[in-house]
Amino acid sequence: MDGMAGTSSKLTWAVHISAVLLVALWLFPTVGLLVSSFRTADQISSSGWWASVFSSEQRTVIRTVDPDDFRIEENSAFAVTGDLFAADEEKEVIAWGTSSREVEAYAPGDLVDLGDGESITVDSEGTYSWKGNEEQLSGRGKRVFATVVSPPDFTTDNYERVLFSGDSTDGMAKTFFNTLTVTIPATIIPIVIAAFAAYALAWMQFPGRAILIASVVGLLVVPLQLALIPLLQFHNNIGIGKGYLGTWMAHTGFGLPLAVYLLRNYMVGLPRDIIENAKVDGATDFQIFTKIIIPLSFPAMASFAIFQFLWTWNDLLVARVFLIDATGETTVMTNQIVELLGTRGGNWEILATAAFVSIAVPLIVFFTMQRYLVRGLLAGSVK
Amino acid sequence: MHPALQGLITIIIGVGGCLGYFYFSNQILDKVIFPPKKNDAGRNINRANAVRPWLFLLPAIIALGLYLAYPVFSTLWLSLTDRSQDNAFVGLANYNQMFNEPKFWEAMVNNMLWLIVVPAVSTAFGLLSAQLTDRIAWGNIAKSIIFMPMAISFVGAAVIFKLIYDARPVDQAQIGVLNAVWLQFEGGTGSFLFLKLLPGIIVLSFAGIVSYIGWLTLKPLLPGETNQGGGLMAIARLIAVVITAYIIVRSLLLAVGIMSSSLPYGEPQQWLTLPFWNNFFLMIVLIWIQTGFAMVILSAALRGIPEETVEAAIVDGANPFQVFFGIKVPQITGTIVVVWTTITLVVLKIFDIVFAMTNGQWETQVLANYMFDKLFRANDWGVGSASAIIIMLLVSPILIWNVYNARKEMQ
């Protein structure tokens, strides 16, 4: 609508800026988790994740090596040389000092006279050289107050630990496959059952059809909380107890109203001519359904499949009630994360990585199939 | 057996079984029970066609009946019995016990707070982002990003926001964004503007919007206006007006409270343990997730508005805000209601966020978590079922409204 009468350029700018702010606000939390999952525990606890993307500036106090052990004698004078940082650290000194009152007194490379012939110099890479007589260079190492810039530093160790270590408390590999095992049958089976029912509700004439459609609409909003205890009792009575089978059945039952509703709405909109022509040509209902309706309804089935996939993948309640038994062998990812929140509340590197592993798959599905998701949402709620 | 293998077999049995069932039951119906042969061929075809829809529907009806309809009645029955007394019928004793528990009322009050705040804020943000992103070239990317939290589980979102709310002792670097921002405030003018005036204005404008809705509801009852829908509708309107009046009073008090409060500047806060306010920190998680949903639906509705109405208003000299609130919003009221009720349904069942973040401690209990507590920690099926029935009762107005609309549409 840019350039339309009534919209000034000032307003256009305001729109752009507000949109940028809104998007940034919505993206910020997820980015925080992603960045944190690539940092070490020390990094996470020493600075906020937003600081890690830039080079960070820190003030530290570092002691030189012990002069009694490392001093070298040259021409009756003594010298201690070394590096403030470990060999693999890419840090840079931008200012330094020798007293806590003046921590940024000198620039890198300055040779500082400490009186009576004692001197010290520190260059930008952290190498230092401390010179003096025997008495001056004894006792403990000299304190150097350094202002240090460290480059952004990321690691994939957390992912290795969470995915490949096989650790039973932190490891997510097993729960990943458990979640997948719950999700796939729980997504496919309701589609098949619902497709037949939706065809009957859309294209067959029989008494009671209107009531059935109305009950599907009603069941759409029944909270699944009501079903927990009665179904658990039912599963125990028929002997399947807690396990995958019961979970698949529960997800199928809970997903069916939406599946029937979405597919029926879509099938009603298919062109009547095709179906009637096929009937005239002698096709049975079963043939019409498999040869015509199913291929044409693919978009609606994809929409529902995405919903059901996201819902079953992200579910915690159904898994806790119908799947996870005392052995904990069948824990799903959401439950594992809740457990980690309890046992490892402070270990953000593990939590962030585990959480990101669990949301990665839904995010991939979301970004690749967004079209179908939006279509399903519009069909499912705008009446 | 390996679960993955078991899963594969289940898919094959489930899908194959369904297809096989449909195929063979149709065959049997056509060839064996009502074969179109001899002198009653025509009658048999008609009979077969009368039975066929039920063949198609049978698996779905069984699944829906067993997994959704039966549990409603079963839970109702459980809520009237006592498990420790050998499932004896105890009447309303469970409800009595529940109504006497402060934790239940805490959950009720919190749920009502969620019910007011989350749908309102999500819908408002959704409308705002729909309107903004529809007008810019990179709108689709912006939409994708705002919509993205929809794919993230409540548990994942709980972890994300726990990191944001994290607090460290005052002498350490804050790793939670909220505390890092909070420590920037020192009680000066900026703090007054952002922490008192701005929230105060937001709450006051919320009260303003609620009073406008209340006025619209009340208007048809005033003398000189025509009240459609008869006495029942009038009672419903009166109840709605009383509720809105209560909300207005509460939000005015809240605004005064915010303006006059003295804030502990310079101290990192454990956000999730601050009574009353921690509810809002939990709600932010759900708002973050639901705004994208509201945006997608409302954006489609906004694009469906006939151009002529907007153009006519601009020709008449309306400014962009008048166009938006006077022309566009009234035309999508129906969609706004649908979005609002859909989010309301999510809020009524909210469980994972509270369970993962506070587990109902520090006065953040909600109904679904209370129910889970009772059912699986206290093992009190009676009270647990009773609270499930309360959730069902809260949902049922929406259920009735949806069914009513669906029936109206089909005629």
Q: What is the pLDDT of residue A7?
A: 53
Q: What is the pLDDT of residue B226?
A: 64
Q: What is the pLDDT of residue A6?
A: 47
Confidence of residue A1 (pLDDT cuts 50, 70, 90): very low
- From the list B56, B387, B352, the residue with the least C-alpha distance to A317 is B352
Cβ contact, residue pair B352, A234, below 8 Å: no
Nearest Cβ partner for A383 among B153, B158, B409: B409
Cβ contact, residue pair B139, A367, below 8 Å: no
Q: Is A362 on the interface with B (CB under 8 A)?
A: yes
More confident residue, B339 or A77: B339
Phi, psi of A277 (to 5 degrees): -60, -45
Average pLDDT over residues B50-62: 85
Cβ contact, residue pair A221, B132, below 8 Å: no
Tell me the ipTM for this assembly.
0.81
If you measure CA to CA, which chain B residue comes closest to A8?
B320
Average pLDDT over residues A329-346: 81
Confidence of residue A85 (pLDDT cuts 50, 70, 90): confident
Describe the crossing of helices A348-381 and A173-203 by its angle, rounded to 10 degrees.
0
Sorted by sequence, the CB contacts under 8 Å of residue A252 that are 6+ apart come out as A186, A189, A190, A193, B63, B67
Cβ contact, residue pair A351, B161, below 8 Å: no
Considering only CB atoms, which chain A residues are within 8 Å of B300?
378, 382
- For chain A, domain boundaries: 9-52, 56-150, 160-381
Kindly calculate the radius of gyration of chain B based on its CA atoms and give it in whole angstroms. 27
Cβ contact, residue pair B135, A341, below 8 Å: no
More confident residue, B231 or B354: B354
Sorted by sequence, the CB contacts under 8 Å of residue B2 that are 6+ apart come out as none
Mean pLDDT of chain B: 83
pLDDT tens-digit map of A189-238:
899 889 888 988 888 888 888 888 888 888 888 888 888 888 888 888 88
Nearest Cβ partner for B163 among A22, A32, A381: A32
Q: What is the pLDDT of residue B122?
A: 92
More confident residue, A346 or B257: B257
Cβ contact, residue pair A200, B56, below 8 Å: yes
> How close is the nearest chain A Cα to the Cα of B74, in Å?
6
Cβ contact, residue pair A26, B352, below 8 Å: no
Phi, psi of A297 (to 5 degrees): -90, 5
pLDDT tens-digit map of A140-152:
777 888 888 777 7
End-to-end CA distance of chain A: 27
Least confident range of A147-156, A259-268, A298-307, B58-67: A147-156
pLDDT tens-digit map of B97-155:
888 888 889 899 999 989 888 998 899 999 888 888 888 888 888 888 988 898 898 88
CATH number of A160-381: 1.10.3720.10
pLDDT tens-digit map of B143-201:
889 888 988 988 889 889 988 888 887 777 778 888 888 877 777 777 777 777 888 88
The answer to whether residue A135 scores a pLDDT higher than 80 is no
Q: Is A50 on the interface with B (CB under 8 A)?
A: yes
More confident residue, A347 or A360: A360
Nearest Cβ partner for A221 among B152, B338, B345: B345
Single-letter amino acid code for the residue at A60: T
Task: Please provide the DSSP assignment of B226-253 as one string.
Answer: --TTHHHHHHHHHHHHHHHHHHHHHHHH
Q: What is the pLDDT of residue A2?
A: 41
In terms of CATH architecture, what is B79-173+271-411? Orthogonal Bundle (1.10)
Q: Which of residues 141-180 of A touch B (CB under 8 A)?
A: 177-178, 180
Kindly calculate the radius of gyration of chain A based on its CA atoms and give it in whole angstroms. 33
> How close is the nearest chain B Cα to the Cα of A236, in Å?
14
